[in-house]
Amino acid sequence: MPSRRSHRERHRTARIGWLRAAVLGANDGIVSTASLLAGVMAAGSSAHSVLITGIAGLVAGAMSMAAGEYVSVHSQSDTEHADLARERAELHDDPASERRELAAIYRSRGLEALLADQVATQLMAHDALGAHARDELGIHEALAAKPLQAALASALSFALGAALPLLVIVLAPASGALIILCAMSLLFLAVLGAVAARIGGADLRRGALRVAFWGALAIASTAGVGSLFGAAP
């Protein structure tokens, strides 16, 4: 007989908390910094001014991303905790009604009435709040809000993403620096989109093109504004 070995499956949904924040942060870091640099370069600013602007944008953007992610994800976490507190009180006050409610959920998913009642009874005996959190409220441990994790991942990834266009400006020759910046930034975005798609199990080319397209639109728009309102020669 074939041996039966238990194995631990690794699902991509377990990565969704930090992956979303990291991809968003890196994408924003590249797009916003490259767009900012392209705008001031197209306006005719000096190399020193361009560099200072990029560094300031990196620091401000990383802090903004951290604060924004923390506040928004913490709001989600507060909502989850409030729902769990309410569910805990309902389980204490009227466990029979909560068991019937859970059984009704299982019947709506295709279980026969008797089996649904048995499943609800056994799951509530094991972990009543966990069963209701998962099947009634839709709160899963892998998808639960983690504000600090999201804030740190977003800030760090933004800083790393923003450092790439800055590095291009430092290394690129003065003549043609704007073109090199735009080309390299789009390459960075395409690579980021492909990597994110690979981690998330999506199509690599579609992910790369999607991120690069929106990045190109942002950079072109900002460079156009900088050229239009730039300093006169």
pLDDT tens digits, one per residue of 157-212? 899 999 999 999 999 998 889 999 999 999 999 998 888 888 777 788 888 898 89
pLDDT for residue 18 is more than 70: no
Mean per-residue pLDDT, 153-157: 86
Q: What are phi and psi of 131, to 5 degrees?
A: -65, -45
Q: In this predicted structure, what is the pLDDT of residue 8? A: 54
Q: In this predicted structure, what is the pLDDT of residue 128? A: 82
Mean per-residue pLDDT, 123-128: 84
**What are the C-alpha distances in Å from 47 to residues 36, 38, 41, 159?**
13, 12, 8, 21
Mean per-residue pLDDT, 140-156: 74
Q: What is the pTM of this model?
A: 0.68
- CA–CA separation, 20 vs 199, rounded Å? 11
Token pair 């802090």: residue: 63
